[in-house]
Amino acid sequence: MRINVYSIEKSNRDEFSKLVDNHKKMIQKYAKIDEITFFNKKIAAAQNRTAIMAKESYSEAFLPHMNGYNIGLDPAGKVLDSFEFSENFDKITTLNFFIAGAYGFDKDFLTKCDQVISLSKLTFSHKIAKVVLFEQIFRALSIQNNHPYHK
């Protein structure tokens, strides 16, 4: 299984990155996982202009990477428990997760996703959302592989 986590964010190494790296190591026992971040001049300029332009720039960055089963993270998405979330890991060989920038996704991008989920009814910063996502990916793989971590 291959898992890709795509996000719009400036790259920097901080405490959140260490938590993500730790979970990536644990996930590697069960699947190949890659973390891909996008932030370029075009995205920065769009974010400084309008929310609509920012959302369009996120979609433009992500659309070429929509191969496999695609899950968009959005506050209005379906809220799953860990067992429901783990069902995404049953028979899929390539699983892509997409985390938008500060303005979220446009509706058109979300309709192209196979599934749209919310990590919580609470609002998280992007860095915290990413840590939560990586922890839940490891939890889901633990459930799928009967590892006791999920209990």
Task: Write down the pLDDT at residue 151.
Answer: 59
User: Residue 70 — very low, low, confident or very high, per pLDDT cuts 50/70/90?
Assistant: very high
Alpha helices, DSSP H only, in the chain? 15-27, 41-49, 51-62, 82-86, 107-112, 126-144
Instruction: Determine the Cα–Cα distance for residues 93 and 70; give it in Å rounded to an integer.
Output: 11
**Inter-axis angle of helices 51-62 and 41-49, to 10 degrees?**
150
Question: Could you tell me the pLDDT band of residue 150, with boundaries at 50, 70 and 90?
Answer: low
pTM here is 0.92
pLDDT tens per residue across span 96-120: 999 999 899 999 999 999 999 999 9
Amino acid letter, 132: V
Distance CA 148, CA 117 (A): 25
Neighbouring C-beta atoms of residue 70, cutoff 10 Å: 22
Helix-helix angle 15-27:126-144, to 10 degrees? 20
pLDDT tens for each residue of 10-65: 877 788 999 999 999 999 999 999 999 999 899 999 999 999 999 999 999 999 99
Strand partners, 69: 95
